[in-house]
Structure 1
Amino acid sequence: MITAEGLTKRFGDKTAVQDVSFTVKPGSVTGFLGPNGAGKSTTMRMIVGLDRPTSGRATVAGREYRRLRAPLTEVGVLLDAKAVHTGRTARNHLRAMAATHGIPSTRVDEVIDLAGIGSVSRKRAGGFSLGMGQRLGIASALLGDPHTLILDEPVNGLDPEGVRWVRQFVRHAASEGRTVLLSSHLMSEMAQTADHVIVMGRGQVLADAPLEELVRAWTVNTVRVRTPRAADLAAAVGGPSVEIVSTAPDLLDIVGLPAARIGDLAADRGIPLHELTPTTGSLEEAYMALTGDSVEYRTKEIS
């Protein structure tokens, strides 16, 4: 379990993280989301002792990271895949890490195979592509077979097969009872991977909830209806709590009524329906609604 209690981090006059508290429980994948500059990476760095909190405390399994006797065997961390001696081969990099904890060389071979870097394991890390560098970083995080995984943007630069592998791996790790904290900017991938979501914005926690609960709270469900009698159907379903948008002469998007009720009303009046499609909100929509006022670096919309 990872616990953050009132974490605050200031760099001079800038407050990067302010009074952040949350718990990451074992047995599920917790997604860690937020715009650039939201404080996610700083929070992760404080959890593993790379940044000292201005105030507050972070623990893993009840202890501060610096108090862990064998960190690699308890917490697997990927924060910067480029943090590798560029002159070392991937195998030698992992062997050097293993030597600090008495981890056998057979485990080095295991994580090389697991991460899919066997074909480049004897090549210098400085020549790795972004994707191969990420795979080496993941192998490093897995080296001690830790109970807790903290992975910052692990799918960055990976091809579709690699992205799928990371998704399957972290889901499997959670199913074994491990604690998994995973950050990503890929909302579609996070929607398939995470059970629980923590969203940060401008250094503060904006939401901390199960993924499905967060999506329900921050999105609206729409029913798309196609009928040659769109005006008649709109009159039949209209009401103070119903929103109707006509996007084409025969097409309505209806908010505020379930699909079954719309179908019943249409049947009662003999209105033919050519389409009746309920759509639920997405994690991306919920994320945008949550963080709309917390984006520090905003691009101009294309019109």
Structure 2
Amino acid sequence: MIEAHDLTKRFGSKTAVAGIDFRVEPGRVTGFLGPNGAGKSTTMRMIAGLDRPSAGSVTVNGRPYRQHTAPLREVGILLDAKAVHTGRSAYKHLLAMAATHGIGRKRVREVIELAGLESVANKRVGGFSLGMGQRLGIAAALLGDPATVILDEPVNGLDPEGVRWVRTLVRGLAAEGRTVLLSSHLMSEMAQTADHLIVLGRGRVVADASVDEVIARASGTSVRVRTPNLAGLNRAIAGPDVSVSTLDDGAAVVTGLSSEQIGDAAASAGIAIHELTALSSSLEDAYLSLTADEVEYRSTSVAPTPEEVAR
């Protein structure tokens, strides 16, 4: 388990992490999201003992990382896959790490096989592709068979087979009762992998809930409606918080009422309804909605969402 209490980090006058509280529970994959500059990397560095908090605390399995006598056996971390001696082979790199914790060669061979590195185990890491480097970083994180695993952008550079492998791996680790914290900018992948989300914005927690809850909160109430009497339906459902937008295909999007409320109003007015479809947001839509006011580095234009295109 990972627990943070009033966790704060300042760099001079800049506050990177502003008194956050969260808990990463075992037995589920927790996604760690946020725009660039939100404080994710700083938070993970504090979890790993690489940065000292300015205030507050963060513990892994009940202790600060620095207090674990055998940290590789407690928490496996991938923060930077490039942090490897490029002149060493993958096997020698893992063997050197294993020697620091009395981990045997058998386990080194196991994680090499697990990560699909058998064919390149004796090649120098400096010649690895980005994807193979990621696999080596994951193998290193799992070397001590830790109860807690933290992976920062683990699918970066991986091909589709590799992405699926990571997804299956982390869900399998969580199913074994381990604590898994996974950071990624790929919302589509996070939607398929994570059970729970912690979202940061400008150093603060803006969401700490299940994936379904995060999406539901951002979805609001939007319903696609098709009727031969749209004008009559407009009169039947008119209200201060209700809006109706006509689509090019003749249907309409109603916001402010649920499907049930629209259907009941249409029935009372004797209006035929041919379609009632509740519109839900994707995780990407929900994430962008949550962080809309939290982006520190913003491009000059943002592509419209599918609902905005429909309107």
**TM-score for the superposition, normalised by structure 2:** 0.91
Deviations along 1:146-170, one digit per CA (max 9) or x if unpaired, are 1001111111111111111111111
How many Å apart are 1:24 and its aligned residue? 0.8
Provide the rounded CA distance (Å) in 2 between the counterparts of 1:233 and 1:132.
58
**TM-score for the superposition, normalised by structure 1:** 0.93
* In the alignment, structure 1 residue 138 sits paired with structure 2 residue 138: yes
How many Å apart are 1:265 and its aligned residue? 4.8
Aligned to 1:203: 203
Structure 1 residues 263-274: aligned runs within 5 Å = 263=263, 265-266=265-266, 269-271=270-272, 273=274
* In the alignment, structure 1 residue 183 sits paired with structure 2 residue 187: no
Q: Is the 8 A contact 2:229 2:271 kept in 1?
A: no
How many Å apart are 1:73 and its aligned residue? 1.0
* In the alignment, structure 1 residue 69 sits paired with structure 2 residue 100: no
Provide structure 1 residue ranges, at least 5 long, that are not aligned to the other structure: none
Aligned to 1:276: 276
Q: 1:169 and 1:226, CA in 2 relative to 1: closer, same or farther beyond 3 A? A: same
Q: Is the 8 A contact 1:221 1:281 kept in 2?
A: no
Provide the rounded CA distance (Å) in 1 between the counterparts of 2:249 and 2:233.
12
Provide the rounded CA distance (Å) in 1 between the counterparts of 2:249 and 2:193.
39
Q: What amino acid is aligned across from residue 209 of structure 1 in structure 2? A: A
How many Å apart are 1:297 and its aligned residue? 0.8
* In the alignment, structure 1 residue 162 sits paired with structure 2 residue 162: yes
How many pairs were matched up? 302
Provide the rounded CA distance (Å) in 1 between the counterparts of 2:260 and 2:51.
54
Deviations along 1:94-135, one digit per CA (max 9) or x if unpaired, are 111111111111111111111112222221111111111111
278-287 or 98-107: bigger deviation = 278-287
Aligned to 1:125: 125
How many Å apart are 1:46 and its aligned residue? 0.5
Q: Is the 8 A contact 2:7 2:56 kept in 1?
A: yes
Aligned to 2:6: 6
Q: What amino acid is aligned across from residue 50 of structure 1 in structure 2? A: L
How many Å apart are 1:266 and its aligned residue? 4.7
Q: Is the 8 A contact 1:150 1:180 kept in 2?
A: yes
How many Å apart are 1:261 and its aligned residue? 4.5
Identity of aligned residues (%): 65
Q: What amino acid is aligned across from residue 272 of structure 2 in structure 1? A: I
Structure 1 residues 94-133: aligned runs within 5 Å = 94-133=94-133
Provide the rounded CA distance (Å) in 1 between the counterparts of 2:273 and 2:221.
22
SS in 2 for 1:234: helix
Q: 1:302 and 1:183, CA in 2 relative to 1: closer, same or farther beyond 3 A? A: closer
Q: What amino acid is aligned across from residue 14 of structure 2 in structure 1? A: K
Q: Is the 8 A contact 2:76 2:150 kept in 1?
A: yes
CA RMSD in angstroms comes to 1.8
* In the alignment, structure 1 residue 22 sits paired with structure 2 residue 22: yes
Deviations along 1:142-199, one digit per CA (max 9) or x if unpaired, are 1111100111111111111111111111111111111111111111111111111111
Provide the rounded CA distance (Å) in 2 between the counterparts of 1:27 and 1:196.
11
Deviations along 1:77-102, one digit per CA (max 9) or x if unpaired, are 00000001101111111111111111
Q: What amino acid is aligned across from residue 292 of structure 1 in structure 2? A: A
Q: Is the 8 A contact 1:31 1:184 kept in 2?
A: yes
Provide the rounded CA distance (Å) in 1 between the counterparts of 2:283 and 2:289.
10
Provide the rounded CA distance (Å) in 2 between the counterparts of 1:69 and 1:164.
34
Provide the rounded CA distance (Å) in 2 between the counterparts of 1:240 and 1:77.
52
SS in 2 for 1:167: helix
Q: What amino acid is aligned across from residue 243 of structure 1 in structure 2? A: S
Q: Is the 8 A contact 2:225 2:273 kept in 1?
A: no
How many Å apart are 1:228 and its aligned residue? 4.0
How many Å apart are 1:56 and its aligned residue? 1.5
Provide the rounded CA distance (Å) in 2 between the counterparts of 1:249 and 1:148.
51
Q: Is the 8 A contact 1:85 1:93 kept in 2?
A: yes
Q: Is the 8 A contact 1:229 1:250 kept in 2?
A: no
How many Å apart are 1:281 and its aligned residue? 2.1
